[in-house]
Structure 1
Amino acid sequence: MSAFRNRRPLALAAAWLATRALMLWLLAHDRLAPLGRGGVSREVRQLYFHWYGVLSQGTFPVGDRLWQYPPGAGPVLLAPGLLPGLTYFTAFVACTLAADAVIAAVLTRAGRRPGSSARGAWLWVLGLPLLLHIPLARYDVQVTALAVVSLLALARRPRVCGAFAAAGALVKVWPALALIGTPRGRSTREVWASAVVTAAALLAVLAAFFSGPFDFLRQQSGRGVQIESLGGTVLGFARHAGWPGTARYQYGAMEFVGPYTGAVAACSLALTVAAFALVLLWRVRARRWTTATPYDAALTAVLLFTVTSRVISPQYMVWLLGLCAVCLTARHTTQRPVAVLILAAAAVSSVVYPGMYGDVVRSTWTGCLLMLVRNGLLAAGAGVSFVRLWRSGLPAAATRRTVPAGRDRRTRTAAAGLRTRQ
């Protein structure tokens, strides 16, 4: 058994090398029609490179409607310039692969702890390629690395957990949700104090070296309903019922424009507020905490945020895969069924984009059905995730009361028989 455990990291490393080589091959051939006709890599080659030039001058892209990211995104986009002798695109992919390798390494290490599991590392290594080459051409892997390290540091180094969560939140807001499930008491106080201090320090540094760090708030507020969101799926089917709206590229994504889109966007925001109210209610009412609870709560919160958002870009699946992987490192996690649903949603997402994105833009029946399946899987995952998290936080006596009477009698009978045999 010990020999097998010693070989496991080698098997994970071999799988990581093989799958990432395949992802690199797909990225090198992304001009093929099924791989997006160059659209996947274009964001790095043109948009990120343009922002790199602006950021190099000591200013954020003020007034740019496509710049909708917190100020921490600036250093991430500048980082490829530190690698000498490489083009910006090649250096960006190298940085993404390095962050990917860090995630695989920390998950592997976490899986080797007593009472832990290697399933999380395997899910990350084999699950990320379901998104084809998209993760290599977006900086969501880097953000996910910060969130994963933050969660896995919680048990032993709470201050490190808070610092990494704060850094992630300044790059893309969602890593702040990783702290929603920290255990009550001293641990939570240490985590949040570290997060606040780190965020304040990083913001002060960014404000000192760059101008316009908060312009992204103005651009973010103008976003509409992306065609891949849950609301976008409703509007896609509405086009077949005579709704006169169309899809247009704006704010960095294909969004629906036309009557009632403002109302749909408002509904999405209201659902987001309601979802977070439920998560906060869980935190107030929860009475049981396990080593897996912070991981499970982080996945639930981010999944609810994703499902109710006005935008569900394909790269958002990277976040969910990373959090599912963290959950599966803990043997007591409640989120195993959710991980299966997320893996299925990731596989469908790669069919949606880049494979059949034209059908989604035109709202053909094929495109609408694909979005219904993908978003249906995410919505089902969000519901299952929250219910299982809620039940895991109930006191043991309350959990027993939720078991049907017949099943409870069978359990007592089996226990009595076991005692008799003993």
Structure 2
Amino acid sequence: MKRRRLLALPLPASAPVLVLALTWLTTRAVMLWLLAHDSLPVLGGRVAREVWHGYHHWYGTLASGAFPAHDPLWQYPPGAGPVLLAPGALPWWSYLQAFVALTVAADAVIAVTLVRAGGRPGRSLYGAALWVGGLPLLLRLPFARYDVQVTALAVVSLLALSRSTRVCGAFVALGALVKVWPALVLLGVERGRDTRSVWTSTAVTGASALALLALAFRDPLAFLLQQGGRGVQIESLGGTVLSVASHAGWPGGVRYRYGAMEFTGPYVPAVAHLSLALTAAAFGLLLLWRFRARRWTEATPYDAALSAVLLFTVTSRVISPQYMVWLLGLAGVCLTSRDTTQRPVAALVLAATAVSSVIFPLHYPEVIDRTWTGTTLMLVRNGLLTTAAALSFTRLWRSGTVRAVPGAKDRAQTLPRSRTPASPVDARGAGGRSRRLPG
């Protein structure tokens, strides 16, 4: 009996991890097979073209010590330079092969990080399951973009917060230098000492890294010139409005600009300006939440990061299918904690991800031509994202600003006995101010 009990002990912990590992290996093998057969007509178009005609082209310029300042397609912060140069460290492969290998490695880092975080006492492996099972919904696209690498930096920064605010800040800075949006992680850090530590680490790391990039490359801020000229991309929320309007007689058209298909014609500038105004309003709402928030749990920084990225995504002039990689990673982080308020939001993100793969590349020509099929697909996907953003912020607001119901268990009461302070003095810092217990 004792021997049978000993043999059974590892199963609850190891069996789910083994299933996740096998699922990751199987799904990633399928994704790689799809990428290797990228030219099959049934797959809807080549997604690896971005690597060959974009990343590899810029690689030559970056290797010479300069950013592609005069290329209108270069719209990335200076931290993207080292990421796009990294495949050169694997000279025995072609640029595409090396890039894909590094992207798969970043994918594995995210999966392992979520498994480690979810395997801790009081945590959940649902986050790892969402990432492992959700990323393949985008077919082979994630391995032909560098958004997986950026998401890895954001995921590591969030999950490092409970252990080291300095490490969290360092990874936030690196992520922001590569693709800006990881800076939104800072919005959810609890006010006080944690905020000062994380923001200081972010500022120091960011300034140091930017200085090194400025010394190594010419024109590190050239990307800012290209961002200002962006219009309304056909997959954005504003683009969906214009697509519907075209069925009511709107005479606008579509053309390729700045690396994306954008609308042209009357009212397009107004839609673009409205999108910018909505982004500013979303940022104001997030700042208001931060000012009003009085309750922080272990999951609050995770929930705030997902909510912020969702709000900025749906109000943006551009929504590319690879943006779903960001949302899957952040939703996965949220689901590692049982305190999260974002479970229904994660389900909506998963549904929007599935629709995104139908849109691009499978039915993208119909989206460009604004057929009823293409327009309906955009309405469904962006409707899901808009609902997710509204629900996410609503639940974040209620969890942080609404007072707890009298008699409800306080978070400190749910901590393991060994982590509960022995006396009130143990839970107080200098000056008698209470501080957050480690999560």
Aligned counterpart, 2:424: none
- Residue 45 of structure 1 deviates from its aligned partner by 1.5
Contact 2:45/2:362 (CA < 8 Å) preserved in 1? no
Aligned counterpart, 1:42: 49
Aligned counterpart, 1:32: 40
- Residue 133 of structure 1 deviates from its aligned partner by 0.5
Match of 2:160 among 110, 131, 153: 153
CA distance, structure 2, for counterparts of residue 395 and residue 350 of structure 1: 38
CA distance, structure 1, for counterparts of residue 259 and residue 42 of structure 2: 22
Aligned counterpart, 1:224: 231
In the alignment, structure 1 residue 111 sits paired with structure 2 residue 118: yes
Read off the aligned partner of 2:384 and give its amino acid letter: L
Deviates more, 1:125-134 or 1:26-35: 26-35
In the alignment, structure 1 residue 129 sits paired with structure 2 residue 136: yes
Partner secondary structure for residue 261 of structure 2: strand
Q: How many residues align?
A: 399
- Residue 194 of structure 1 deviates from its aligned partner by 0.2
Read off the aligned partner of 2:340 and give its amino acid letter: T
- Residue 30 of structure 1 deviates from its aligned partner by 1.5
Match of 2:186 among 179, 197, 222: 179
Contact 1:247/1:257 (CA < 8 Å) preserved in 2? yes
- Residue 8 of structure 1 deviates from its aligned partner by 2.5
Aligned counterpart, 2:12: 4
Contact 1:34/1:354 (CA < 8 Å) preserved in 2? no
In structure 1, the gaps of 5 or more residues are 401-422
CA distance, structure 2, for counterparts of residue 337 and residue 8 of structure 1: 22
- Residue 145 of structure 1 deviates from its aligned partner by 0.1
The alignment's TM-score, normalised by the length of structure 2, stands at: 0.90
Match of 2:338 among 331, 334, 343: 331
After the TM superposition, which parts of structure 1 deviate over 3 Å for at least 4 consecutive aligned residues?
397-400
CA distance, structure 1, for counterparts of residue 399 and residue 45 of structure 2: 46
Match of 1:305 among 304, 312, 315: 312
Partner secondary structure for residue 195 of structure 1: helix
The alignment's TM-score, normalised by the length of structure 1, stands at: 0.93
Aligned counterpart, 2:31: 23
CA distance, structure 2, for counterparts of residue 99 and residue 187 of structure 1: 27
CA distance, structure 2, for counterparts of residue 2 and residue 296 of structure 1: 32
In structure 2, the gaps of 5 or more residues are 1-8, 408-439
Read off the aligned partner of 1:62 and give its amino acid letter: A
Aligned counterpart, 1:412: none
In the alignment, structure 1 residue 253 sits paired with structure 2 residue 260: yes
Deviations 1:360-412 (CA, angstroms, capped at 9, x unpaired):
00000110000000000000000100000000012435799xxxxxxxxxxxx
Match of 1:314 among 321, 324, 336: 321
Partner secondary structure for residue 255 of structure 2: strand
Aligned counterpart, 1:94: 101
- In structure 2, relative to structure 1, the CA distance for the partners of 1:263 and 1:398 (3 Å cut) is farther
Contact 2:314/2:385 (CA < 8 Å) preserved in 1? yes
- In structure 2, relative to structure 1, the CA distance for the partners of 1:243 and 1:183 (3 Å cut) is same
CA distance, structure 1, for counterparts of residue 174 and residue 42 of structure 2: 36
User: Over aligned residue pairs, what C-alpha RMSD do you find?
Assistant: 1.1
Contact 2:65/2:216 (CA < 8 Å) preserved in 1? yes
1:387-402 equivalences in 2 (<5 Å) = 387-397=394-404
Deviates more, 1:139-148 or 1:252-261: 252-261
CA distance, structure 2, for counterparts of residue 214 and residue 94 of structure 1: 29
- Residue 146 of structure 1 deviates from its aligned partner by 0.1
Match of 2:290 among 283, 287, 307: 283
Contact 2:293/2:400 (CA < 8 Å) preserved in 1? yes
CA distance, structure 2, for counterparts of residue 396 and residue 79 of structure 1: 49
Deviations 1:82-109 (CA, angstroms, capped at 9, x unpaired):
0120000000000000000000000000
- Residue 239 of structure 1 deviates from its aligned partner by 1.1
Could you tell me the percent identity over the aligned residues?
Answer: 69
CA distance, structure 1, for counterparts of residue 289 and residue 403 of structure 2: 16
